[in-house]
Structure 1
Amino acid sequence: MFQFRLLGPIEVILADGRVIEPSSEKICKVLAILSLRREVTSVELLVRELWDDKPPRSALTTLQTYVYHTRRMFEREALTRDGKPLLVTRPPGYELRVEVDEVDATLFEHSVARGRSLLDAGQAADAARILREALALWRGPALANISGGDVLRGHISHLEELRIRALELRIEADRALGRRRDLIPELRALVVAYPLNEWFHCQLIHELRHGGRRAEALQAYQDLRRILDEELGLEPMAEVRRLHLDLLASSA
């Protein structure tokens, strides 16, 4: 068993626990794209990722060299699929033959989808467990040790947005399980980490109110209002404003 890990610095974890790190950023990029797409990836797309819109004349030959070194890395560690190469040439490009659970990013995506389905089905305990396991796959920002081009930046944005959605779903699952008091310190940390995410602020205000901490809830609203005004020149969304009005009415 092995795993390509992209939710943090790019690395390959072998069955014996050893960690392999690709030898160059360009090889990291090739490995990342092939791992994330899990289908035939065209030479054109790989060239665009590696050199944007200014590829050198030697782009095709250089790409082939990167693919060669990637294959050699797999061969040295006996990484195969049923005894055959993991990385194969398939027109119009290359394909990395990996399963869902062999790439942490795709495992994360599938786990979040499963957690959402379980939550929708009223199975909050299982949903919370699956979503916690999914979030634990993250070791830092996605593809943290490379500067992505146009292609990888799209994948990174998708994964980071899905990470936030997984947090939201897991919070909803914990609330359904009655773990509301435990949510407050986590939500305080999340509004610091994601200061412009109004959903996290709204949940913090809501949980403080539910816990009888109206003064703190009112302060949390003022903190959000100040941040939005300073950063974006905006007022909080309607749902948060309604919650603020309810707070004022209940404390009158």
Structure 2
Amino acid sequence: MIRSMQVTDSPDVLALLHWMDAAPEREVFAPSARDGQELQLDCEDSTCLVDAGEDGVVAYCAIAPFRDGMVLEGPLSESGQVAGLLKKALEQAEGLPVYAFCSRENTPVRDALEAAGLTPMHSTAFYTAPLSHFKETDVPDGYALTNALSIADYRALYRAAEDAWAGRLDWTPEQFDAHFAREDVKLVALTRNGKPAGFAELEFHPDDAHAEVTYLAVHPAERGQKLGRALLNLAAAEAARHPELRTLRTRAHDHMKAARTLYSHLGLRHSRSVVTYLLEGDEEA
């Protein structure tokens, strides 16, 4: 029976989340919570549904606000039988676009998403390497290293380097300042003649001892100078200043061939790939 999730369902839903964690090929976008109290907080802004039988919850799916529409959490089921639950969750979108994310190897969920009308947009490859793997590097000749950019320079480089990052362009100056004031965020940027040439943006995750390169950008006019390699090494050196961090992680969409080649040449290991799906919204809604 498909119904709204109840508090008493939390142990079964958490069991599904831990089941997902046990194998990378089961990955879908899901609540970050891994205990009951956190799960209740995570579900406050979501419409959470379960498929429940006599033995408890056998599948979970939720839908929540995201970007210009909604995002699916799940669907999750050990049996792979999620079509009915997925259909019910999509009805909650009320004509808005719906995004979904799942492992490239998660064939049962990918088949269900595509059968429900969602279209694969692109895949994102994730890479990792120990911080000890990276070599110390000097700032390239003719460039200067800085840990801060003005919002105007950041936006200009952001816009020139990668159009898929459009969400950052909507930040107010207050949001920009607040983001880079965070202790777990660091910017490593190169400038030439006072103009931004590229940057690597880092987020620190001491709980599992890794730093993540959330964005790596090189201005098109500066490409071919091995700045991507320099920025990645400089970012690794910045992360290595924090003894609680051991690993560097980064990612690249499938159209970012230069970034993928760079990560492979530098010896980062490909750990997994996630496919982004979209169900187009109803323009009349």
Shorter-chain TM-score: what band? under 0.3
Structure number with larger C-alpha Rg: 1
**Under a length normalisation based on structure 1, what TM-score does the superposition of the two structures give?**
0.25
**Under a length normalisation based on structure 2, what TM-score does the superposition of the two structures give?**
0.23
Higher normalized helix content (fraction of residues): 1
Higher normalized strand content (fraction of residues): 2
